[in-house]
Each structure stands twice: as C-alpha cells, then as structure tokens.
Amino acid sequence: MKNNFILDCNASEFLMNLLYLLSDREFGWRDPELPEVIQMLQHQFPSVQSNAAAYLQHLCFGDNKIKAEIRRQGGIQLLVDLLDHRMTEVHRSACGALRNLVYGKANDDNKIALKNCGGIPALVRLLRKTTDLEIRELVTGVLWNLSSCDALKMPIIQDALAVLTNAVIIPHSGWENSPLQDDHKIQLHSSQVLRNATGCLRNVSSAGEEARRRMRECDGLTDALLYVIQSALGSSEIDSKTVENCVCILRNLSYRLAAETSQGQQMGTDELDGLLCGDANGKDAESSGCWGKKKKKKKSQDQWDGVGPLPDCAEPPKGIQMLWHPSIVKPYLTLLSECSNPDTLEGAAGALQNLAAGSWKWSVYIRAAVRKEKGLPILVELLRIDNDRVVCAVATALRNMALDVRNKELIGKYAMRDLVHRLPGANNSNSSASKAMSDDTVTAICCTLHEVITKNMENAKALRDAGGIEKLVGISKSKGDKYVLQITLHLFNLSSSYY
C-alpha cells in the first residue's frame, strides 16, 4: 500500500505571512517555536490558523520525531477541531497537516491519537459536506493513511464505509451513469479521490469476517468496484492503482463466501452430494458426467457445465450476488491476460482462487466458467512469469480449478511441465528464478500437483515424464521449510504408489 504525504513548497511563504500577521513585536521576525505554532491553531484569525496548520504540515514532512512531538503537545486534537471550522482554507491546511502526521507505519501512535480525538467522524463530516475537490482528496488521503493501522480498520468501516461508498466510490466510478462513456473513462482513473477511497477500503477489507460482511452488504459497493474494473479493460488504465485497489477489495470479499453468507449457508447436504466433482480417476473418468459418476439417470437442475443458461439465474446478478456469479470470471481473466501490474495479477488470480474453492454450487459453476472462457491456458501462462507472489496465487488457483474432473485432466495434460519447471532442482534452465521462489510458492505448486495426480494415473505419468520425481526427491533431501518437506514427501509417496 502506498500512503499519502504532502510537502508544501510554499512553507516559507506561509511562515512569512504568519509572522507578518503576528507582528515583529511578538517574535522579532524569528522562526516561531513548535509550541507557539501549535498555539496559533487557536488564534482568533482564520488566516493565522490556516498558516499555522500549513507550517506544521511542512515541519513534520519526513520527520517522525517532529510528528511525535506535535502529538505530545496536543497538536492533533487542535487540528481535528479545525475540521469543523467555517472556512475552506482552514480545512485545507488542517487536512494537509493531518495527512503528513499519520503517514507511515512508524506513526501508528499518531493514528490512534487522531481516532481518540474523534478524528474519523470529523473527517467523515467534512467529506460529506465539502464540494472542494482538493479537500476531498486530502480527507480521503488521511483516511487511507489511517487504514494501514490494524486497530483503526473496524472504526473506519463503522464510521466511514457508507460515506466513502455513496459520496466517492459510486459517483466517481460512473456506475450510476451507465452505459460507459469514453470521456468518463478518462476521468475515472485520474480521480485521486477514487484512488484514495479504494486504497482505504482495500486496507480495511482485510480486517476479518465482520469487516467483509459489512462491506458485502454495503449497497452499491460491489457493483461500483466491478464497474471500475470493466471500464478499464482494453485501456491503458488497466494497470492503474485504482484498478489494483478494486481487484484486491473484491478478492478479499470473495474469501469464504460459502461459509460467511446466508446464500452459502442455505445449501443442504443433498445439494452438495449432487454437485461434488466425484472420485473420478483415469479409469472411470470416461464414464463420468461433468462433475463425477453418473449414478442415476436423474440430473440435478443445479449441475452446469459452462454451456447453456445458468440454473436459478433468471435475473441479472446485482450487489453481493456479483461476487460469486460466473459472469465475474470474464473480467478477471481479461485482467490476467492484459494487465502487467503484478499486484493486480495476484489479486485477480487470488479472487478466482477464492471463488473456485470448496464444493459450494457457485464454486462448481466458477470452475466450469473458467474452462468455458478458456481461462486455464491464461493461468498456465502466468506460471512462467518472474514474480513469486503471482506464481503462488496462480498455482493455488489451478489447484482449486482441478477439483473439477475436466479441469483436472486439462491441467494434467497442458500444465504439468510448467508446474514441474517451477520447482527448484536440477535440469532447470531458469534455476535462478526457482531459487528465488519462497517456501509458500513451492508448497502451493506441490499442493497443485497433489490434487492433479490424485486418482488420475495419466497425470501421475505426466508428472514422472516431466522430471517431477527427481525434483521431489531433491526437495525432500534439502533443508527447507518443514511444512514444504512434509508436502513434498506426501506428494512423492502418492506419485510412487502408481508405479
């Protein structure tokens, strides 16, 4: 996450104005001391208050000691009080100072102090009432910086989620002004306010189950975020920070959908039995249906193989439904094939990974939709990119895709060599890339291989032919992470059982 800070190049001019207003009899044209500047925040003249706040903004730029001293001397409380001032210039200077004061992980104490001063509701009040674009950018910048502090994520959701959604994200996304217009698409991603707001919500979306629940239930949020992504497809803005933020929010909100939503909890065991992929192996896969063996002539209406209309979907998805509806697969795949921003690639692959996990009927549909949209080759190609976190997310997404019988066969046939190639070991033409891989990524690849060869003789042979056995032996003899070794040994034993 990139935080926001300001260096005001006109600080000397502000200081001169400040000294002029207070006259040389008080300070003798010398630089005022920090306590004196803080005291000026309570001056009767708004121009003095504004210049004092602007000078504090300059003083604390890049200086954590000054930031801490301003907090200790009560400056944060006085700056928060100025957010309810009647003058726009005072708002602008106070927000600028606060944004610098809460920039960076080293200043979490300042963030907590701002929250304890009632700063979050004060920022929200100002955001709700102001029409000044610069002040809106400053307010959302302060909130973005605050959101990096774990202790403030839920307070931000409680006090600011609705206003950020309704006053910033929805109007700036253009969602309510459909269809897309080219001129709006240009304005969309140049909006610093939208960038800041989505950055803030990206941070708070990682605060746990309650945070995800509130954000999923926030009217218009999912629709607007997805609209931002769709509007960027096919344009140079696909690599923008705003799109990255939106994708990462949706990835987080896609986590544990079946367990955390009422729609997922309504599924019964009979429905699950009809949707599970089954225990198809190389021998009986030919006589299997899309998701497993054909036990009876009866076919569940909920079974969908990616062809034809989707069961139980007479109406277009909206709101929270858009998170899991198979129509979301196409924009994610387009991002994966066109985007060059590694954080966006990781987020899109992670979203598909979350959506394809488990046996929920919508997870089954997602796996079929990825196959229908020819998404498996896109994921396989991303295994070749030189970015550890992207490879880890893509490998885990492929593992979940392999829960589908048809996908498992295709992954075993077309992705095996790429998966094995990314494992560290001999006979690797790109050994430096393999050495740089983290234990998490090696584990993810091993788990994918495990899923792909389980009860599939042809895939196990493909693992052997790709040189996978030798690499697994090498990993098992190395002194790597204990969990990596356990997974590797288990995979080696499984593959050996076929021969």
φ and ψ at residue 433, rounded to 5 degrees: -65, -40
Residue at 285 is within a domain: no
Instruction: Let me know: does 214 contact 159? Beta carbons within 8 Å.
Output: no
Residue at 159 is within a domain: yes
Q: Which two tokens stand for residue 247?
A: 């994708």
Q: Which of 33-47, 117-131, 204-218, 280-294 has the lowest mean pLDDT?
A: 280-294
Same domain, 352 and 412: yes
Over the stretch 298-349, which tens digit does the pLDDT of each residue have?
A: 444 456 666 666 666 667 888 999 999 999 999 999 999 999 999 999 999 9
Same domain, 196 and 104: no
Same domain, 94 and 155: no
pLDDT band (50, 70, 90) for residue 352: very high
Over the stretch 41-74, which tens digit does the pLDDT of each residue have?
A: 999 999 999 999 999 999 999 999 999 999 999 9
Q: Which two tokens stand for residue 13?
A: 């001019």
Same domain, 29 and 97: yes
Same domain, 35 and 155: no
- Residue 351 clears pLDDT 60, i.e. is over it: yes
pLDDT confidence of residue 173:
92
The angle formed by the CA atoms of residues 253, 259 and 262, to the nearest 5 degrees, is 85
Q: Which two tokens stand for residue 26?
A: 């008080």
Residue at 296 is within a domain: no
Same domain, 408 and 332: yes
CATH number where 230 lies: 1.25.10.10
Q: Which of 21-25, 156-160, 380-384 has the lowest mean pLDDT?
A: 21-25
Q: How many separate domains does the chain show?
A: 3
Same domain, 330 and 411: yes
Same domain, 250 and 343: no
Same domain, 258 and 384: no
- Mean pLDDT for all residues in the chain: 84
Residue at 200 is within a domain: yes
For the chain, what is the radius of gyration of the CA atoms?
Answer: 27
Burial status of residue 142 (CB atoms within 10 A of its CB: 0-12, 13-18, 19 or more): buried
Give the DSSP H/E element, type plus range, for residue 389.
helix 388-401
Closest CA to 446 of 484, 482, 474: 484
Residue at 479 is within a domain: no
Same domain, 96 and 160: no
In the block, residue with structure tokens 């295994």? 383
Burial status of residue 182 (CB atoms within 10 A of its CB: 0-12, 13-18, 19 or more): exposed
**Residues spanned by the domain of 211:** 150-175+189-262+314-320
Same domain, 403 and 454: yes
